Amino acid sequence: MSSPSEPYGRHTTRKTRRGQWTVSQLRALPATTDVETAGSILGMGLWKSRALIRDGQFPVPVIRHGSRYVVPTRPILALLDVEPADVDGRAAR
C-alpha cells in the first residue's frame, strides 16, 4: 500500500523493503498511518502486525477507527528515537 518513495501515498513506483525507512521518510509521514505502513517501518509484515494488534502486543498504540485501525506516527518515531519534523520539515528541537 505505502512505500517510502511516497511514504503515505498510493501512487508509488517502487516498494521499499521492510525496516528500511530513512529518517526523512519517517518525518514525512502524516499524523496517523495504516497498519501495513506501521508494520513495514517496524520491520514486520501485515500478517504479523495484525496478529500483534489482535493480541494487544503491537509495540505502539493502535486506534480502532470504525472497522479499521490507524497507528499514530509520533509513538513510532519515539520508539525509533527519531525527532519529529516541525512545520517546515526540519527536525523539531
pLDDT per residue over 40-86, tens digit each?
Answer: 999 999 999 999 999 999 999 999 989 899 999 999 999 999 998 76
The model's pTM is: 0.74
User: What's the total number of domains in the chain?
Assistant: 1
> Does residue 12 surpass a pLDDT of 60?
no
Instruction: Give residue 66's domain range.
Output: 1-93
Contacts of range 74-79, beta carbons closer than 8 Å, 24 or more positions apart: 74/31, 76/26, 76/29, 76/33, 76/38, 76/41, 76/42, 77/26, 77/27, 79/42
